Protein backbone atom coordinates (compact mmCIF):
# COMPACT_ATOMS: atom_id res chain seq x y z
CA UNK A 1 0.00 0.00 0.00
CA UNK A 2 1.19 3.47 -0.80
CA UNK A 3 -0.47 6.77 -0.05
CA UNK A 4 -0.07 8.94 -3.14
CA UNK A 5 1.40 12.42 -3.32
CA UNK A 6 -2.16 13.75 -3.34
CA UNK A 7 -2.88 12.13 0.03
CA UNK A 8 0.40 13.23 1.58
CA UNK A 9 0.00 16.81 0.30
CA UNK A 10 -3.59 17.01 1.53
CA UNK A 11 -2.62 15.99 5.05
CA UNK A 12 0.41 18.28 5.08
CA UNK A 13 -1.57 21.24 3.73
CA UNK A 14 -4.41 20.84 6.22
CA UNK A 15 -1.94 20.63 9.11
CA UNK A 16 -0.19 23.80 7.95
CA UNK A 17 -3.60 25.42 7.50
CA UNK A 18 -4.48 24.68 11.14
CA UNK A 19 -1.06 25.40 12.65
CA UNK A 20 -0.15 28.63 10.93
CA UNK A 21 -3.17 30.85 10.83
CA UNK A 22 -5.33 30.17 13.91
CA UNK A 23 -8.65 30.85 12.26
CA UNK A 24 -7.44 33.41 9.72
CA UNK A 25 -7.85 32.43 6.06
CA UNK A 26 -4.68 31.42 4.25
CA UNK A 27 -4.21 31.70 0.50
CA UNK A 28 -2.98 28.91 -1.73
CA UNK A 29 0.10 31.00 -2.51
CA UNK A 30 0.96 31.47 1.19
CA UNK A 31 0.31 27.84 1.98
CA UNK A 32 2.36 26.58 -0.96
CA UNK A 33 5.32 28.72 0.16
CA UNK A 34 5.08 27.70 3.82
CA UNK A 35 4.54 24.00 3.17
CA UNK A 36 6.73 23.79 0.03
CA UNK A 37 3.86 22.38 -2.04
CA UNK A 38 2.86 23.00 -5.65
CA UNK A 39 0.15 25.71 -5.78
CA UNK A 40 -1.48 24.03 -8.80
CA UNK A 41 -1.69 20.71 -7.00
CA UNK A 42 -3.02 22.42 -3.86
CA UNK A 43 -5.79 24.03 -5.91
CA UNK A 44 -6.92 20.59 -7.08
CA UNK A 45 -6.78 19.19 -3.55
CA UNK A 46 -8.55 22.19 -1.99
CA UNK A 47 -11.30 22.06 -4.61
CA UNK A 48 -12.12 18.53 -3.43
CA UNK A 49 -11.76 19.38 0.27
CA UNK A 50 -14.09 22.37 -0.15
CA UNK A 51 -16.63 20.27 -2.07
CA UNK A 52 -16.56 17.75 0.82
CA UNK A 53 -17.13 20.52 3.39
CA UNK A 54 -13.78 20.06 5.14
CA UNK A 55 -12.52 23.52 4.23
CA UNK A 56 -14.18 26.75 3.25
CA UNK A 57 -12.94 29.62 1.13
CA UNK A 58 -13.20 33.36 1.57
CA UNK A 59 -12.79 35.62 -1.45
CA UNK A 60 -11.17 39.01 -1.68
CA UNK A 61 -8.27 40.73 0.09
CA UNK A 62 -7.29 38.75 3.15
CA UNK A 63 -9.21 35.80 1.83
CA UNK A 64 -8.14 32.22 1.59
CA UNK A 65 -9.04 28.89 3.12
CA UNK A 66 -10.02 27.69 6.60
CA UNK A 67 -10.87 24.36 8.10
CA UNK A 68 -14.65 24.23 8.63
CA UNK A 69 -14.54 21.93 11.65
CA UNK A 70 -12.43 21.51 14.71
CA UNK A 71 -9.31 19.49 13.73
CA UNK A 72 -10.24 16.87 16.33
CA UNK A 73 -13.45 16.23 14.37
CA UNK A 74 -11.77 15.54 11.01
CA UNK A 75 -10.25 12.08 10.63
CA UNK A 76 -7.51 11.09 8.24
CA UNK A 77 -10.10 8.85 6.56
CA UNK A 78 -12.40 11.89 6.09
CA UNK A 79 -9.54 13.68 4.38
CA UNK A 80 -8.64 10.71 2.15
CA UNK A 81 -12.26 10.06 1.16
CA UNK A 82 -12.72 13.76 0.29
CA UNK A 83 -9.78 13.80 -2.11
CA UNK A 84 -10.55 10.33 -3.48
CA UNK A 85 -7.35 8.83 -2.11
CA UNK A 86 -7.67 5.09 -2.37
CA UNK A 87 -5.68 3.03 0.06
CA UNK A 88 -6.77 -0.40 -0.97
CA UNK A 89 -3.88 -2.80 -0.75
CA UNK A 90 -5.11 -5.36 -3.25
CA UNK A 91 -7.63 -5.39 -6.10
CA UNK A 92 -10.01 -7.59 -4.10
CA UNK A 93 -10.39 -4.85 -1.46
CA UNK A 94 -11.28 -2.17 -4.01
CA UNK A 95 -14.74 -0.64 -4.39
CA UNK A 96 -14.05 0.01 -8.07
CA UNK A 97 -15.65 -2.70 -10.24
CA UNK A 98 -13.08 -2.02 -12.97
CA UNK A 99 -10.27 -2.97 -10.56
CA UNK A 100 -11.95 -5.87 -8.79
CA UNK A 101 -10.08 -9.13 -9.15
CA UNK A 102 -11.97 -11.72 -11.18
CA UNK A 103 -10.79 -14.45 -8.78
CA UNK A 104 -12.14 -12.74 -5.67
CA UNK A 105 -14.88 -15.37 -5.18
CA UNK A 106 -12.43 -18.28 -5.25
CA UNK A 107 -9.26 -16.74 -3.84
CA UNK A 108 -8.05 -17.90 -0.43
CA UNK A 109 -6.30 -14.55 0.22
CA UNK A 110 -9.19 -12.22 -0.66
CA UNK A 111 -10.58 -12.29 2.88
CA UNK A 112 -7.16 -11.49 4.29
CA UNK A 113 -6.74 -8.42 2.05
CA UNK A 114 -10.25 -7.19 2.82
CA UNK A 115 -9.69 -7.63 6.56
CA UNK A 116 -6.37 -5.77 6.34
CA UNK A 117 -8.03 -2.93 4.40
CA UNK A 118 -10.80 -2.68 7.02
CA UNK A 119 -8.19 -2.49 9.80
CA UNK A 120 -6.44 0.35 7.97
CA UNK A 121 -9.72 2.14 7.38
CA UNK A 122 -10.64 1.76 11.07
CA UNK A 123 -7.25 3.13 12.08
CA UNK A 124 -7.40 6.09 9.67
CA UNK A 125 -10.95 6.80 10.90
CA UNK A 126 -9.75 6.87 14.51
CA UNK A 127 -6.90 9.34 13.98
CA UNK A 128 -7.87 12.99 13.71
CA UNK A 129 -6.00 15.92 12.21
CA UNK A 130 -5.52 17.13 15.79
CA UNK A 131 -3.99 13.77 16.76
CA UNK A 132 -1.40 14.18 14.02
CA UNK A 133 -0.69 17.78 15.08
CA UNK A 134 -0.34 16.73 18.71
CA UNK A 135 1.68 13.66 17.72
CA UNK A 136 -0.95 11.46 19.41
CA UNK A 137 -1.53 9.09 16.51
CA UNK A 138 0.33 6.32 18.32
CA UNK A 139 -2.18 6.34 21.17
CA UNK A 140 -4.26 3.87 19.20
CA UNK A 141 -2.73 0.52 18.46
CA UNK A 142 -4.15 -2.21 16.30
CA UNK A 143 -4.67 -5.38 18.24
CA UNK A 144 -4.86 -8.88 16.93
CA UNK A 145 -8.54 -9.71 17.06
CA UNK A 146 -11.10 -11.30 14.84
CA UNK A 147 -12.85 -7.94 14.37
CA UNK A 148 -9.76 -5.78 13.83
CA UNK A 149 -10.54 -3.72 16.91
CA UNK A 150 -8.44 -0.83 18.10
CA UNK A 151 -7.31 -0.41 21.66
CA UNK A 152 -6.06 2.61 23.53
Full residue range of the structural domain in which residue 142 is found: 5-151
Three-class secondary structure assignment of 58-115: ECCCCCEEEECCCHHHCEHHHHHHHCCCCCCCCHHHCCCCCCCCCCCCCCCCHHHHHH
Q: Provide the domain count of the chain.
A: 1
Walk along the chain (152 residues) and give the pLDDT tens digit of each residue.
Answer: 678 889 999 999 999 888 866 678 899 998 898 888 899 999 999 999 999 999 999 888 888 999 998 999 999 999 999 998 877 777 776 666 566 667 767 788 888 888 888 888 899 999 999 999 988 766 555 443 444 455 44
The pTM (predicted TM-score) of the whole model is: 0.78
**Distances from the Cα of 33 to the Cαs of 13, 38, 61, 74, 91, in angstroms?**
11, 9, 18, 24, 37
- CATH number of the domain within which 61 lies: 1.10.10.10
Amino acid sequence: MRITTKGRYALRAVIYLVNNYEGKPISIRQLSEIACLSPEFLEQIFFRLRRAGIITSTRGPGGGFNLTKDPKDVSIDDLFVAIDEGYHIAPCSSDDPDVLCERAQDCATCGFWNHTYEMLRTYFSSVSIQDVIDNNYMKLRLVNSSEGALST
